[in-house]
Every structure is written in C-alpha cells, then in structure tokens.
A = this chain, B = another copy of it.
Amino acid sequence: MSPRSTAEQAERTRDEIVRRASELASIGGLEALSFGQLAKEVQLSKAGVAGAFGSKEALQLSILGRAVEVFREQVWDPAAGVPAGRARLLALCDNWFRYLERCPFPGGCLITTASVEWDARSGPIREAVVAAQRRWLKVLSAEAEVAIRARELPRRLDPDQVAFEIAGIGWSLNQAIQLFGDASGPDRARRAVERTLSAR
C-alpha cells in the first residue's frame, strides 16, 4: 500500500476502535476498558489496538473527544440556525432531551457517565470532562443572557442560575430514562424548563 492508504487505513482502524469502545464505556465506564477486551471486540491483536493509541489514557481521551463531537452534532449544531436568545435556548434543551431519550450510545450519555466516574479523580480525563461540562453550562448561560437582554425572559433571571437549573433538569431526565425507564421524563423535563424560565 502507498503511505497515504496506510495512513487512511490506520485512521479507519482507530475510528472503529473508538466507536466500539465508546459503546462499551457508555455501559461500563471508561476505566473498565481494556485493550485485551477491545481487541476481541474489533477482531484485532491486542498489540494492534494498544499500538493505535499508545496508552489507555490516550484511548479514553479519544473516546471522550468523540462523545463531545456526537453531543455537538446532535444538540448544538441543529440549534445553530435558530434565532439567538429564548428560541435557541429552548431548541438546545429540546435537542438535548431528545439526545438523552434516543441516545446514540447504548448505555446512555457518555459525558454523564464520565462526569460521575471521574469526579473524584484527578488527571487529564477529569480535566476533559470538566471542560466539556463547563462549556455546556456556558452555552446555556450565554443564550439565557441574550434572551434576558432582549427582554424575551424576565429581567430578574440570573443566566448562571438558569444554566444551573437546566443542567439539573437534564440530570433528572437522564435518571428518569436510564434508571426508571420513565416515559413521562421528557415531558416533565420540558415542563421544568418552562417553569424555570417563568419562575419568580
């Protein structure tokens, strides 16, 4: 093979490993992954899988990177064309709740899983999780701020408080879906957002 096709092949192999590893991590967490188990899953040698990443931590960071990408594609990107402010804030919430409801990962949102798995540890994975969650809160807060300035939302609202509350609604919805299989969760979540945005 030419050098280019070898590089392309290596890239495809990495993608395939990350895709399968993401599915497994959404169920069992990032730390339980092993090169040996993954090798069996993707029918490669253990050395081949390990060699594609160098270290387990590098693999874990690749998985998180993919999880953030999927989240962005399903939650942020479809809201980009919606007018900034209240409408976009509601679109972001709707997209998020739909993502949680029909999650592309079999064990549910991988960022949620990693947030709790890594919240009492230190190192690059925790830092990546913190960065991802902070970014999401900032997006919610910024959109709320635009809406408040445009008088689309009550002026007494505090954008960071709105983001804190909406984040909680997402967590509660995640629990309703993943733990209770509660079909009323998405409606409750949408109602909670309306209440948060209209509260005194």
Contacts and interface: CB of A to CB of B under 8 A. Distances in A.
A176 to B, nearest CB: 7
- The A interface is mostly helix, strand or loop, or mixed, namely helix
- Identical subunits present: 2
How many of chain A's residues touch chain B, expressed as a range? 35 or more
Interface in A159-188: 160-161, 164-165, 167-173, 175-176, 178-180, 185, 188
A117 B120 CA distance: 14
20 contacts: A26-B120, A27-B120, A28-B121, A29-B29, A31-B32, A112-B116, A113-B116, A113-B120, A115-B175, A115-B179, A116-B116, A119-B175, A119-B179, A120-B178, A160-B188, A161-B188, A161-B191, A164-B189, A167-B171, A195-B200
Interface of A: 26-29, 31-32, 106-108, 112-113, 115-117, 119-121, 129-130, 133-134, 160-161, 164-165, 167-173, 175-176, 178-180, 185, 188-189, 191-192, 195-196, 198-200
